[in-house]
Structure 1
Amino acid sequence: MTKRPLDILDQVLNGEPVIVSLKGDRELRGVLQGYDVHMNLVLDKAEEVTDGATQKIGTLIVRGDNVIYISPSGN
């Protein structure tokens, strides 16, 4: 059975952290709470990761056209 990208995103809606890579060489880590067909994301407990340091942001909405990839963080 071939999986579709949105099916795979459904699998990470389980409360485990994800890493979101953004345009402009930015990276976020947080818990994916939801998304839409445009890849707009709602992240909870979001942090921006910069050179190993993290800055806590909280709840964040990320516009989909800025997303390069989403990956399980493996914490």
Structure 2
Amino acid sequence: MTKRPMDILDQVLNRQPVLVSLKGGREIRGVLQGYDVHMNLVLDKAEEEINGQPASIGTLIIRGDNVIYISPSVQ
């Protein structure tokens, strides 16, 4: 059975961290709390690596037109 993108997002919703790559080269890791058809995302426990050090952001809303990809991540 072929999985659709939304099926994969449903599998990780509120369970495991995802890695979100954004336009401009930023990458943010966090627990996916919700999303919509425009790929607007709500991440909890979000963090970004800055100068090799993780920087905690907390809860974050990412506008979908900034998303390049979303990947289930390994901690």
TM-score (norm. length: structure 2): 0.91
Bigger shift: 59-68 or 48-57? 48-57
Q: What is the deviation of 1:71?
A: 1.0
Give the corresponding residue for 1:52.
52
Bigger shift: 29-38 or 9-18? 9-18
Give the corresponding residue for 2:2.
2
Paired residues, what number?
75
Q: What is the deviation of 1:2?
A: 1.7
Which aligned segments of 4 or more residues in structure 1 are displaced greater than 4 angstroms? none
Identity of aligned residues (%): 79
Within the alignment, does 1:68 sit opposite 2:68 as a pair?
yes
TM-score (norm. length: structure 1): 0.91
Gaps of 5+ in 2: none
Bigger shift: 64-73 or 24-33? 64-73
Gaps of 5+ in 1: none
The equivalences for 1:28-43 within 5 A come to 28-43=28-43
Bigger shift: 27-36 or 7-16? 7-16
How well do the aligned residues superpose, as a CA RMSD in angstroms? Answer: 1.1
